[in-house]
């Protein structure tokens, strides 16, 4: 049995009420490109019908031709960027999905992952539905089409009531745009305004680019309906305890974004400060693993009173293919991306800051690289707790077997990556830095405590199939 | 309301029980390329799941990479070529369509056109189905998925029972291939054998290429189920009067194919002979409009005792785009394809044989071209009756407004195309040449007598939307 | 030492004095596409400078974008199509070549092959010239640049005086177009008129397409200079015995072209007639190997009083790549291009007409194909004498080793291709059919008598390196 | 008259004596991609002949296919990356250039710009040379080919003796690699060792990537000849005063490279420190314009005792095309690349560090962006003196008219960019920071004192044509 490939690591954007809706959606996706580099798409509405352009590739490549926008007319549009989690990169899995149903046409863009998708799919198939993609998102449209409700928002509410998992959704019909966020608010979603038009985006950096005004975040469990008569807010779903994904702060979101009530850069700096308090070390300089480790490294350096330096230089021209020499025993993996600056590192006791360790292989190469460049000591500090459990709510993590910290002690990891010392930010430190009250974040990847349990044992094999 | 774009002018091919199923399907599609140059696709089964590769483009381009076949494993495969009828050439409308439903996966390839697709779609949508393409073929899969029958063949039979129109279908599941032809047998479909494997193709020329043995034609109303245990034949549908499309003989099929019990080349020659009997003229030579008019011209020449010559030379390197000079008043349309041979035509009374006249503009250019090359007289002979009515069963014809013979007398057409004389093959002559008994062919395009009427008045607007 | 790759099998076209010069050149190349399908290019002049667009690919693909013509402004242009003789298809070998030299810019397009190119290149290199391509054509530009003459036509005359071999050349400078044909006139070249502009083309079919008037052929040894003041003709080279390539008639030129004073189609028909007189056989039908064998087959059939039929149907959608099944023992080579019509061939004694036999492998497959389709006897007739010697003047022929008739008797060839009988047109019959006096054609490929001998023994190895 | 397009902003790489020469060259070009993103190429030698692959595009795209390296065999290779200075991006101007001449084949890759190229070209053309590109590099090969010397190094020396300007050159013949640097050493070039093989590269970061050992810099005026017998060093040219380009430190080279005896990152940090000493200001934070301003900003912050923050976040997914909304008055230029972090900037007095101001438009947008994000004061500090004069030695700078500092005072520029204060690093400070003695750097772009004057007044128009 083929299981769903989770719709992981995506970004969504929508705009309603602007004469250049599709072009601005393209810009919004541009700003959200870090949330998904594999594929992208836009659906626009001209008030009478929906228009689609979707393809594998980066936003700048897929939409790099002015002519495309002539085929995406109208004053409303939604868009989607998707990350490649597996080799199964079939074009038909590109979003937004657009379908015809009894009330006309509707398109949807989804960021997140439904945990009961297979179960709902089984029910729908038993009833007679056919599925043309392997995306859990398709389930949502089937539920919406088979709803007995009349009003669009009631159909959406009924469909969402059947779903379990993480979702930020953008729907577009001929005349309406609807945004929805799951009751626990795993993924970020914000609302903005541009002239008379409304904008919805995964992160505020997309509003910034098009110079839209940030209005507020869409709340967990909220459904926002936008028509030409304005905007209405609904809370049709059962309330639940909020569980925003703390990994958005650690790694995924852009530092200039404002999500879950905070600026990402500032939170990362505070992670670094807290890390410095928890894992002090006698050292000469602090360097980040660029680019994700930079804010935490600045925080660490400031707190520890050590100089911050860019000891590893990143090559910005990495292509999507990389042809390695065939006969060489060398493996270029990390070297092609990073190069150490000997003059900074030579003879120094170096603190290297990274946001996480997954398999440990990259960290090991970086430690060796820094040491070969002359560092006397290499102390690795990680601005998050050990990642021991896979995510089922929209972050692409490997299986437990591949997560080094799920099977090794910190000392074992330190020895593997050949660091002189290794320190992870504690879970308490993390929460304290983010200013959390007692339990408002999903930190299942650290703790294994999943806020949403899987509906049946039958779904268990899925856990290992990501 | 968006109406269905008819799935017109297609070719289908399938093979079951051969280790190189996908590669042979590619070859089969190659041989059927004349039935559709816009897009193509193959779905293969490895016994456990289905694999898809589809794209806009010619077969040789879409499958021009050996690596593709590694991604199409298995001993069974079906394929499809499609002709572009409109500018709406969206990738998602490429066939075969593959879906998941309650019993697993199924793919379908369709040649023909359903006349009650919109009505069935409306019912399905009312019931809760969603539609992801604008192809009438998708309706078939929905019907199959919502059937309450258990066995695949019963589901297919129930689905087909709901359909009206022209269809040759190939279904592929993980373990079975099913071929079906509508009760009136509008489109050709034949069965072949290659070693232990079975082959199904729109035309026998596809069997020839892969050196499969021609077994027989699939009969009107027949459903053939092929499994690893062998082949079974079913006739689940109400019998109807056969109505094979006579235009396949006139124009569409390849001359080396054997369809509807006859060889196409021979039938075309007989059209030419009969045409000579009906429309004799004092002339010096007979020339065809290449390539479609060649067999009829040979027949005409033999019957009339006149020399056959290739007075018009075809350029075989026509690309899909053609950039015309901007400032010129010349229009290169036909000239880019055909060039007359002055030495053949000069001073001669020339009979020009073509298979049909659609708008008349091409014929007009050809007559002028032949006359400019020195012909003393130009007599146009058409190896079919005037085409006055559009086809709704799978041939791409323009609307009535564009069909010159729907609004002009033969004498008016003659004047328009500037020929010295013009003769069409009579309907009786056509039927006699094809050896038909009283009524066994669909000749709606000539007579306007449609063998299947449209289900409701509501569908009427569709007639003008082709 | 790297030897020159001969510039074989090309077509050239030029126009002077037309506001859409580049676009008409594109059309002219379109008509000449059969002379070279590998690469093409156009150079235009706007009166002040030259503009270039060249690439690998068919004319329709390389110039399939209106925007390209905006970058090829001006009222004069020359173009070139080239055939791929080897795998060494480097972009830089695409013509026309454009260079800067002391008098400004000049471009050249060349059809033919210089036999003393290596010797002249050696001299030029010794003198200090550098070569950026492996085309013999580059030698011509070096000679022109190093000439001490003042006037362009004198420089060209001096350069041509150094060359031995076959050439039709088109030069373009900022203000002039010059056409030149070698003293023996191996390759065809004709002059036309379009409004006030002048046109030069390898074959008259290119004039026909743009509706230019055929004026006359450019004569062997003639240099035609076209400026805004009109056209002048020069004969600066030593006269020599004419030796037009008879293979242009046999195979290479388009049947609708008029070259060497005759229409190609008519000559081919006469080859067929003569072949019938020389090699009569009791048979039922005559079929051509399409498309090249069609006129000769018509001639044969008319002379022999036998019916002409299209017993082999050609697939017109052959792509440039063809993926064969891996595990099959079948080899699809010819089958992918041709399919027999059983109904025509069954039980018949068949005469198959082809224009030539090169390696014999294709003929062998065709004979088997015809016999498998039911033919009782298969008699092969070839409308030219055995091709036993390679061409050094612009036709792409294999080395002697590969030419079956260079090492086998006709009876041995007959046995190899499994024909019931085999007949070649005699050399005398060929010349008689073409209406030649005693010696006016180059027929080195049949006789081994090369009209131009190679300059030194040193060049001998070149003979085997084609 | 068409003037030379200067071969500006390039990177070169070569390796001799390694079985994967071409693949390592590809890696070296990867590391040098920042020196030219428009086009690239590699020429390899297998000991008998040279092999070429060149194209427009990034290294990762042009060489993103393992198969290419099978066509680049041999143990020696040179490569080139080129920056697009104008729209005239013709393929034929891609380097390395490979030619045949009297001694065999030779290829060359060039970084720099010859100031007497037009004059030498005129002489060569008068003598009879033809030019197939518009690159000044082609002149070098002509000189080499026309030299009367016997040994390759003597020919090269004679050719170099004729050249004026900036050049780092890599030559490759069938059996040798030669590196040459102009007597004033404008551009960097270094020598490395990998196993038994020798490596030459524009910057040391390319050695780092392939894990080659840095041996030393190639000296101004030095010619290094590498054969299978080893390496020899020659100084055939008249000595001149060294004039390495200080702008390599300011902006062009990668921070992890070691050039002109120093590490670039460290020099940039010292520029920042010196800038802090020269232009102190009461402020709260220091932010760089990423990525080029980062090291100087770190130096400034450390010297000034102010916190360093990443107040502007760079989008790393900028594509090569960017489709702006058509109807909007907004211009997205800088916004698409940079986004401010409000939480860092709000209420702060901000020092913004950039490496240079060219037209002023980007600085103006950045100042406004920072101020809109809430900054109370915006103080711009530039880590180099005002750039008032164009470069003729290999850096792509606009004409004087476009350089804002060539026509405006610092106060005028400050007002234009709307900064609260503006400070440039002084020329003395720059030289002091770089540890220069009295005059060892070319700083013509600041001072207008060009170390090499143009050969004739005739060349003057070139100055404005860049």
**Judgement on whether residues D132 and D97 belong to the same structural domain of the protein:** yes
SS3 C50: strand
Residues of chain B with pLDDT under 50: 1-7, 86-89, 329, 456-466
- C61 part of contact set with chain B, CB < 8 Å: yes
Closest among A111, A136, A108, A121 to A45, alpha carbons compared: A108
* Three-class DSSP category at C20: coil
pLDDT (tens digit per residue) in A367-388: 999 999 999 999 999 999 998 8
CA–CA gap between residue C107 and residue C95 (Å, rounded): 9
Q: Is A274 left (phi over 0), alpha (psi -120 to 50) or beta?
A: alpha
CA distance readout (Å), D150 to A280, A348, C79, D20:
68, 53, 41, 31
List the end-to-end C-alpha distance of chain C, in Å, as a whole number. 14
A154 and A277 in a single domain? The answer is no
Contacts of C27 in chain B (CB under 8 A): 325, 332, 336
What are C27's two structure tokens? 């059309």
Chain D CB contacts of A66 below 8 Å: 323, 326
CB D314 within 8 A of CB D338: yes
Co-location of B358 and B270 in the same domain? yes
What is the H or E stretch that residue C368 is in? helix C361-372
Residue C4 resides in a domain: no
Rounded Cα distance between A218 and A220, Å, is 7
C294 phi and psi, to 5 degrees?
-65, -55
| pLDDT at residue A438 greater than cutoff 80 | no
Q: Taking 60 as the threshold, does the pLDDT of residue A461 lie above it?
A: no
Task: Report CB contact under 8 Å: B310, C295.
Answer: yes
The tens place of each residue's pLDDT in chain D, 466 residues long, gives 233 334 468 999 999 999 999 999 999 999 999 998 888 999 999 999 999 999 888 898 899 887 889 999 999 999 999 875 543 445 557 899 999 999 999 999 999 989 899 999 999 999 899 998 888 899 999 999 999 999 999 999 999 999 999 999 999 999 999 999 999 999 999 999 999 999 999 999 999 999 999 999 999 999 999 999 999 999 999 888 889 999 999 989 999 999 999 999 999 999 999 999 999 999 999 999 998 899 999 999 999 999 999 999 988 776 555 566 666 545 667 788 899 999 999 999 999 999 999 889 999 999 999 999 999 999 999 999 998 888 888 777 666 678 889 899 999 999 999 999 999 999 999 999 988 666 689 988 888 888 887 654 344 333 333 2
Q: Are residues C224 and C192 in the same domain?
A: yes
Rounded Cα distance between B368 and B170, Å, is 45
Q: How many CB atoms lie within 10 A of CB A163?
A: 22
Please tell me whether residues C231 and C270 are part of one structural domain.
no
Distance in Å, alpha carbon of B355 to nearest chain A alpha carbon: 38
- Chain mean pLDDT for chain D: 88
Domain end residue (candidates: D175, D208, D241):
D241
Quick one: pLDDT at residue A87?
37
DSSP element (H, E) containing C381: strand C377-382
Q: Does residue A3 lie within any of the structural domains? A: no
Phi, psi angles (nearest 5°) of residue D24 = -70, -30
- Residue B442 annotated as binding site: yes
| C203 occurs within a structural domain | yes
Supply the DSSP string of B41-82, one letter for each residue. EEEEE-SS-EEEEEEES-HHHHT-SHHHHHTS-SSEEEEEEE
Q: State which residue of chain A sits closest to D328, comparing Cα positions.
A: A20
CA closest to C343 among chain B residues = B263
C-alpha C397 chain-centroid distance: 11
Is B449 contained in some domain?
no
Q: Give how many domains chain A has, as a whole number.
A: 2
Calpha distance D357→D351 (Å, rounded): 15
Cβ–Cβ under 8 Å, residues B302 and B332 = no
> ipTM, 2 decimals?
0.89
pLDDT of residue A134: 83
Query: Tens digits of per-residue pLDDT, D249-304?
Result: 998 999 999 999 999 999 999 999 999 999 999 999 999 999 889 999 999 999 99
**C83 in contact with B at a CB cutoff of 8 Å?**
no
Does B257 fall in a domain?
A: no
End-to-end CA distance of chain D, in Å?
A: 14
Range of the domain at C412: 259-316+331-447
| Same domain, residue pair C229 and C335 | no
Beta bridge partners of D442: D245
State how far the Cα of D57 lies from the Cα of D55, in Å rounded to an integer: 6
Share the mean pLDDT of chain A. Answer: 88
**Considering B10, B40, B168, B205, which one is annotated as catalytic?**
B10
**Which residues of chain C fall below pLDDT 50?**
1-7, 86-89, 329, 456-466
Residues 158-187 of chain C with CB under 8 A from chain B are none
Give the residue from A291, A309, A343, A365 with the most D CB atoms within 10 Å of its CB, the best one to mutate. A343
Q: Which residues of B touch A127 (CB under 8 A)?
A: 128, 146
Asked whether residue B375 is domain-assigned, the answer is yes
- Write out residues 357-416 of C within 8 Å (CB-CB) of B: none
pLDDT above 90 (res A394) = no
Q: Are residues D363 and D230 in the same domain?
A: no
Q: Which member of A27, A31, A266 has the closest CB to residue D343?
A: A266
**Residue B115 and residue C441: Cα distance in Å, rounded?**
65
Query: How many Å apart are CA C369 and CA A343, to the nearest integer?
Result: 76
β-strand partners of D225: D178, D232
User: pLDDT over 90 for what percent of chain B?
Assistant: 69
Establish whether D245 is an annotated binding residue.
yes
Q: How many CB atoms lie within 10 A of CB D437?
A: 7
Contacts with D98 (C-beta within 8 Å, 6 or more apart), sequence order: C132, D43, D50, D52, D105, D106, D107
Mutate: best of A313, A320, A346, partner D, most D CBs <10 A: A313
Residue A442 maps to which CATH number?
A: 3.40.50.2020
Report residue B158 CA to chain centroid gap.
26
Looking at the structure, tell me whether residues A281 and A217 fall in a common domain. no
Do B77 and B128 reside in the same domain of the chain? yes
In this complex, do C256 and B313 lie within 8 Å of one another by their Cβ atoms? yes
- 3 state DSSP class of D380: strand
Choosing from D10, D40, D168, D205, which is the catalytic residue? D10
C32 and C101 in a single domain? The answer is yes
Do residue B15 and residue B79 come from a single domain?
yes
- Chain B's closest residue to C312, CA to CA, is B256
Q: A135 and A284, same structural domain?
A: no
- Rounded CA-CA distance C256/C299 in Å is 16
Mean pLDDT along residues A403-417: 93
CATH code, D165: 3.60.20.10
Query: What pTM value is reported for the model?
Result: 0.89
Q: Is C208 on the interface with B (CB under 8 A)?
A: yes
Structure tokens at A381: 């500090």
Rounded CA separation B391/B399 (Å): 9
Examine the residue annotation and report whether C190 is marked as an active-site residue of this protein: no
| B309 vs A212: CA distance, rounded Å | 72
The whole-number average pLDDT for the span A132-136 is 87
Burial class (CB in 10 A: 0-12, 13-18, 19+), C362: middle
Residue C379's DSSP bridge partners are C351, C421
B29 close to B54: Cβ distance less than 8 angstroms:
no
Is D457 within the bounds of a domain? no
Write down the pLDDT at residue B8.
63
């Amino acid at each position: 049995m083929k299981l769903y490939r989770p719709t992981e690591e995506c970004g969504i954007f929508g705009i309603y009420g602007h004469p250049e809706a599709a072009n601005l959606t393209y810009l919004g996706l541009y700003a959200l490109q870090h949330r998904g580099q594999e594929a992208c798409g836009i659906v626009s509405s001209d008030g009478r019908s929906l228009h689609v352009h979707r393809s594998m590739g980066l936003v700048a490549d897929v939409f790099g031709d002015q002519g495309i926008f002539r085929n995406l007319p109208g004053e409303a549009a939604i868009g989607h960027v998707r990350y490649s989690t597996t080799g199964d990169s079939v074009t038909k899995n590109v979003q937004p999905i657009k379908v015809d149903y009894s009330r006309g046409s509707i398109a949807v863009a989804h960021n997140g992952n439904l945990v009961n998708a297979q179960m709902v799919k089984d029910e729908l198939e038993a009833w007679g539905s056919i599925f043309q993609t392997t995306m859990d998102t398709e389930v949502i449209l089937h539920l919406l089409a088979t709803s007995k409700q009349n009003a669009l928002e009631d159909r959406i509410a009924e469909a969402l009531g059947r779903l379990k998992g993480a979702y930020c959704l953008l729907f577009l019909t001929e005349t309406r745009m609807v945004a929805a966020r799951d009751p626990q608010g795993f993924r970020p979603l914000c609302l903005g305004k541009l002239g008379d038009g409304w904008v919805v985006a995964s992160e505020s950096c997309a509003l910034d680019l098009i110079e839209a005004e940030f209005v507020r975040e869409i709340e967990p469990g909220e459904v926002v309906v936008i028509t030409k008569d304005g905007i209405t807010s609904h809370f049709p779903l059962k309330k639940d305890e909020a569980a925003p994904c703390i990994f958005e702060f650690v790694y995924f979101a852009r530092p200039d974004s404002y999500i879950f009530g905070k600026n990402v850069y500032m939170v990362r700096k505070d992670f670094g400060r807290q890390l410095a308090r928890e894992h002090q070390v006698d050292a000469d300089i602090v360097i980040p693993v660029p680019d994700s480790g930079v804010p935490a490294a600045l925080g660490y350096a400031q707190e520890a009173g050590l100089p911050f330096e860019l000891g590893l230089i990143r090559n910005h021209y990495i292509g999507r293919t990389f042809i390695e020499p065939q006969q060489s025993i060398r493996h270029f993996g990390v070297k092609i991306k990073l190069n150490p600056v000997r003059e900074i590192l030579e003879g120094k006791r170096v603190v290297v800051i990274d946001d996480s360790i997954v398999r440990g292989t990259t960290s090991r190469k970086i430690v060796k690289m820094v040491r070969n460049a002359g560092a006397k000591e290499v102390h690795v500090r990680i601005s998050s707790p050990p990642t021991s459990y896979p995510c089922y709510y929209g972050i692409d993590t490997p299986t437990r077997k591949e997560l080094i910290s799920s099977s090794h002690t910190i000392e074992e990891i330190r020895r593997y990556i050949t660091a002189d010392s290794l320190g992870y930010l504690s879970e308490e430190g993390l929460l304290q830095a983010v200013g959390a009250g007692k339990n408002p974040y999903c930190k299942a990847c650290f703790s294994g405590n999943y806020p949403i349990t899987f509906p049946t044992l039958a779904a268990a094999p899925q856990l290992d199939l990501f």
